[in-house]
Chains A and B, each alone.
Chain A
Amino acid sequence: MALDRLIALIFLAVSIAYGYESFVTIEAGLLPFERHETFLPNSLPKVLTVISIGLCMFILVFNEDEDAQDKKPEIDLRHWRNYHFGQAALLLSGMVAYAFALRPLGFLISTIVFIVGSAFILGERRWLLMLLSAGIGTGVIWWLVQVVLGIFLRPWPGFITGG
Chain B
Amino acid sequence: MLEGVLTGLSTALSLQNLFMVVAGCIIGTFIGMLPGLGPMSIIAIMIPVAIKIGDPAAALILLAGVYYGAIFGGSTSSILINAPGVAGTVATAFDGYPMARQGKAGKALTIAAVSSFIGGTIATILLMAFAPALSSVALLFHSAEYFALMVVGLSAIAAFAGPGKVAKALLMTIIGVMLSTVGESALFNAPRFTFDIQDLQSGIGFITLAMAMFALPEAIFLVLDPSRGAQQGDKVEIKDLRITKAEAKAIAPVIGRQSVQGFLIGMMPGAGATLASFLGYAVERNIASPAEQKEFGKGSVKGLAAPETANNAACTGSFVPLLTLGIPGSGTTAILLGALIALNVSPGPRLMIDRPDVFWAVIISMYLGNLVLLILNLPLIPYIAKLLAIPRNYLIPFILFFTLMGAYIGQNNETELLLLVGLGIAATILRFADYPLAPLLIGFILGGMLENNFSRAVTLSDGVSFIWERPMTLAMLVVAVLLIVVPWLRRRSS
Contacts and interface: CB of A to CB of B under 8 A. Distances in A.
Given A4-B435, A52-B178, A137-B398, A41 B414 contact: no
A35 interface: no
B434 A65 contact: yes
Nearest to B419: A99
Contacts of A44: 177, 181, 450-451, 454-455
A23 interface: no
Given A7-B430, A75-B432, A118-B400, A58 B414 contact: no
Interface string A110-125: 0100110011001110
B429 A145 contact: no
A7 B177 contact: no
A128 interface: no
B163 to A, nearest CB: 6
A56 B171 contact: yes
A92 B421 contact: yes
A13 interface: no
Interface stretch (B128-136, B278-286, B457-465, B473-481): B457-465
Contact of A38 (B405, B433, B462): B462
A29 B196 CA distance: 14
Interface string A61-80: 01011111001011101000
Interface string A18-58: 10010000100100000001110111110010011001101
Interface string A94-116: 11101110110000000100110
Contacts of B219: 91
A84 B228 CA distance: 12
A10 to B, nearest CB: 9
A149 B394 contact: no
Nearest to B407: A99
Contact of B166 (A29, A42, A64): A64
A3 B163 contact: no
Contact of A119 (B174, B393, B417, B459): B393
B397 interface: yes
Contacts of A94: 400
Interface in B173-222: 174-175, 177-178, 181, 185, 187-188, 190, 192-193, 219-221
Given A44-B181, A74-B431, A151 B392 contact: no
A100 B187 CA distance: 33
B223 interface: yes
B392 A55 contact: no
Given A41-B188, A100-B414, A114 B397 contact: yes
B394 A119 contact: yes
A45 B181 contact: yes
A91 B394 contact: no
Given A45-B181, A88-B220, A149-B45, 12 more contacts: A7-B433, A37-B459, A42-B192, A44-B451, A65-B164, A75-B221, A75-B224, A75-B225, A99-B417, A115-B397, A118-B397, A150-B45
9 contacts: A8-B171, A18-B178, A43-B455, A45-B181, A84-B223, A84-B225, A88-B223, A114-B401, A133-B394
Interface of B: 31, 34, 37, 45, 163-168, 170-171, 174-175, 177-178, 181, 185, 187-188, 190, 192-193, 219-221, 223-226, 392-394, 396-398, 400-401, 404-405, 408-409, 414, 417-418, 420-421, 424-425, 429-435, 450-451, 454-455, 458-459, 462-463
Interface of A: 2-4, 6-8, 11, 14, 18, 21, 26, 29, 37-39, 41-45, 48, 51-52, 55-56, 58-59, 62, 64-68, 71, 73-75, 77, 83-85, 87-88, 91-92, 94-96, 98-100, 102-103, 111, 114-115, 118-119, 122-124, 133-134, 137, 141, 144-145, 149-151
